[in-house]
Amino acid sequence: MKITIINPPLCRTTMQGIGPVAENLFYNSAPLGLCYLASVLDEHEVNIIDAVVEKLSIEKVIKRIKGLSPGIIGITTFTVSSYSCYALAKEIKNILPWTKIIAGGPHITSNPDDLLEHKEIDMAVIGEGEMTFKELVGAIEKGNDVSGIKGIAYNLNGKLFLTSPREFMPNLDILPFPARHLVPIHLYKPQPNDQRRLPKLSMITSRGCPYPCIFCDKNVFKNTYRSFSAKYIVNEMSHLVRQFNAKDIAFVDSTFTPNKERVYEIVREIKNSNLDVTWTCSVRADVLDRPLLKEMRDSGCWRVRLGIESGDDEILKFIKKGVTKSQLIKVTNWAYELDLEPKGFFIIGHLADTKKTIEDTINFACSLPLKDITVQVNTPLRNTPQYHIMERYGKLATKDLSSYSFWEPVFIPDGLTYRTISYYYKKFYLNFYLRPKIWYRHIKKIRCYSDIIKYLKGVRILAFFFISWLKKIF
Average pLDDT over residues 226-246: 97
Whole-model pTM: value is: 0.92
Give the class (CATH, top level) of 190-473. alpha beta
Query: Whole-angstrom Cα distance, residue 104 to residue 229?
Result: 26
CA nearest to 5, candidates 136, 183, 184 = 183
Q: How far is CA 52 from CA 182, 310, 370, in A?
A: 15, 30, 30
- Residue ranges covered by each domain of the chain: 2-162, 190-473
- Predicted confidence (pLDDT) per residue in 379-433, tens digit: 999 889 999 999 999 999 988 887 888 888 999 999 999 999 999 999 999 999 9
Domain 2-162 is classified in which CATH homologous superfamily? Cobalamin-binding domain (3.40.50.280)
pLDDT score of 91: 96
Domains 2-162 and 190-473 equal at CATH topology level: no
Under DSSP, is residue 305 helix (H, G, I), strand (E, B) or coil? strand
Q: Answer yes or no: is pLDDT of 20 > 60.
A: no
pLDDT score of 13: 45
Q: Answer yes or no: is pLDDT of 440 > 90.
A: no
pLDDT score of 450: 64
Q: Answer yes or no: is pLDDT of 449 > 70.
A: no
Side-chain half-sphere exposure of 73, counting CA atoms within 13 A? 32
Q: Answer yes or no: is pLDDT of 203 > 60.
A: yes
- Both ends of the chain: CA-CA distance in Å? 58
**What angle in degrees, to the nearest 10, is found between the helix axes of 290-298 and 325-337?**
40
pLDDT score of 218: 78
Query: Whole-angstrom Cα distance, residue 170 to residue 173?
Result: 9
CA dihedral over 244, 248, 253, 254, signed as positive or negative? negative
Average pLDDT over residues 282-294: 96
